[in-house]
Amino acid sequence: MSETMKTAVFTDIKEIELQECDRPVPTGNKVLVKIDATAICTWEQRVYTGVNKVEFPFIGGHEIAAHIVEMGDEVNKLEWNVGDKVVVGATLQCRNCFYCKTGNSQSCNHFNHSAQLEGMPHKGMGGLSEYMLVSPDCMFKYDNVAPEEAAIIEPVSCVIHSVETANIQMGDTVLVIGCGIMGLLHTAIATKQGASVIVSDVNEDRMEIAKKMGAKHTINPAKEDLAAQVTKITNGLKAQVIFDTTPLPSVVADTFKCVCNAGKIVLYSSIHPAEPVPFDPNWVHGKSIQILGTANSNDRDFVRASRMVSEGVIDLKPFVSAVYAKDQIKDAFESAILGDKFRVVVQF
């Protein structure tokens, strides 16, 4: 094994390059993993385009599939072995604050995308590298799927957290707005929870994919009135649960017209550009509406996501839109920001 490694470094807006640096060595309770594949999330795309502000140089990458190559002396060898295939969870949670200690590590009070990880030459999440040091509590085993698919287990874990936040009941009508990868994963998982899913998107092809994942109804808001169609489909009841997976503030306002009394609106996506959305608090109060936010995932979500994917409950093959070698890293990002793909994956 070489004493150096390659890592992809953002050096400026729309500038990313492979740099060589020292390979970290695991000691104590640390594990060295060889990264096999990293998917390019929307977050990293926004770093590349300058929407998300970071201090350069910066190393992105948090949707990671890897395998163990070396372990420190204090790692539990009964649980972990060299060669184990793992996905890497969030490495930036402090594991010590009130939220981390009470099972809500997805809301860690000290979560910082720009933290300095041990063994990395620059700040950032570190997954766009050949190797990284990981604590065992941030690793989750997977099996039976290719690393390019396993890299997408992280988004699955986030959607599991979102669906459980909504506490979907069997027989609920669920409206999923947006048929990007996150909307389609919401569709698949909500269907498996026993919901009847309506999807809304302007892209007819993606709504056809949603049907294959279990959606019962599709609505194109460019051609039909969304609220009127939801009301018609549900015989006047409207949706018990709505997942907004789009970044558009106007869509948040649309959800208010589509939710039933005592219903839930889950704001899954961040809004770009960030704009306030007016609402009537008396309506929320009088109709017992719950407006919920969800972001990231925790260990429990990751365990179940990796199991669901490993056992074939969720098929991630359709979401691997393109695969690039690490020396094509700039091409990979240029491809990802076109917006016509689910996930672009980089092999390391």
165-212 per-position pLDDT tens digit: 999 999 999 999 999 999 999 999 999 999 999 999 999 999 999 999
Domain assignment present for residue 305? The answer is no
> Residue 92: pLDDT band by 50, 70, 90 thresholds?
confident
Q: To the nearest whole percent, how much of the chain has pLDDT over 70?
A: 99
Tell me what pLDDT residue 231 has. 99
pLDDT of residue 89: 86
The answer on 86 and 223 residing in a single domain is: no
- State mean pLDDT over 312-328: 98
pLDDT confidence of 90, banded at 50, 70, 90?
low
Rounded CA-CA distance 306/153 in Å is 6
**Residue 267: strand pairing partners:** 244, 293
247 and 322: one domain? no
Domain match, 198 and 138 both: no
Q: Are 19 and 145 in the same domain?
A: yes
> Which pLDDT score is estimated for 32?
98
Cβ neighbours for 145, distance < 8 A, ≥ 6 positions apart:
309, 310, 316
Question: Containing domain of residue 109, as a range?
Answer: 4-152+316-347
The count of structural domains within the chain is 2
Statement: residue 125 has pLDDT above 80: yes
**What is the predicted pLDDT for the residue at 91?**
66
Residue 298 lies in a domain: no
The answer to whether position 40 is within a domain reads: yes
Mean pLDDT of all residues in 10-17? 98
Neighbours of 143 (CB within 10 A): 12
Residues 161 and 215 in one domain: yes
Specify whether 39 is located in the same domain as 101.
yes
Which tokens sit at 347? 């092999």
CATH value at residue 254: 3.40.50.720
Does 270 or 307 have the greater pLDDT score? 307
- Examine residue 255 and state whether it is found in any structural domain, yes or no: yes
Sheet containing strand 15-22, strands side by side: 15-22, 4-12, 58-59, 123-124
Mean pLDDT across 1-8? 95
Burial category of 279 from C-beta neighbours within 10 Å (exposed 0-12, middle 13-18, buried 19 and up): middle
Give domain status of residue 129, yes or no: yes
State whether 287 and 325 are in the same domain: no
Q: What is d(CA 59, CA 48) in angstroms, rounded to the nearest whole number? A: 11
151: confidence class by pLDDT, cuts 50, 70, 90 = very high
Q: Say if 304 falls within a structural domain.
A: no
Average pLDDT (338-346) is: 97
**Which has the higher per-residue pLDDT, 310 or 94?**
310
Enter the tokens of residue 239: 């949706």
Please determine, for residue 136, whether its predicted confidence score (pLDDT) is greater than 70.
Answer: yes
- Residue 148: name the closest of 302, 339, 322, 331 by CA: 322
Q: What is the CATH number of the domain that holds 341?
A: 3.90.180.10
Residue 93: pLDDT band with limits 50, 70, 90: confident
Shared-domain flag, residues 176 and 67: no
For residue 219, CA distances in Å to 212, 235, 241 come to 15, 16, 16
273 — pLDDT class (breaks 50, 70, 90): confident
Range 129-143 average pLDDT? 97
Tens digit of each residue's pLDDT (9 = 90 or more) over 58-82: 999 999 999 999 999 999 999 999 9
Domain check: are 207 and 270 in the same one?
Answer: yes
3-class DSSP assignment, residue 37: strand
- How would you label 113-126 residue by residue, b for 16+ Cβ within 10 Å and e otherwise? bebebebbbbbbbb
What pLDDT, on the 0 to 100 scale, is given for residue 1?
85
Residue 16 in domain = yes
User: Residues 204, 132: one domain?
Assistant: no
35: pLDDT strictly greater than 70: yes
Query: Quick one: average pLDDT of 292-297?
Result: 95
Assigned domain for 308 exists: no
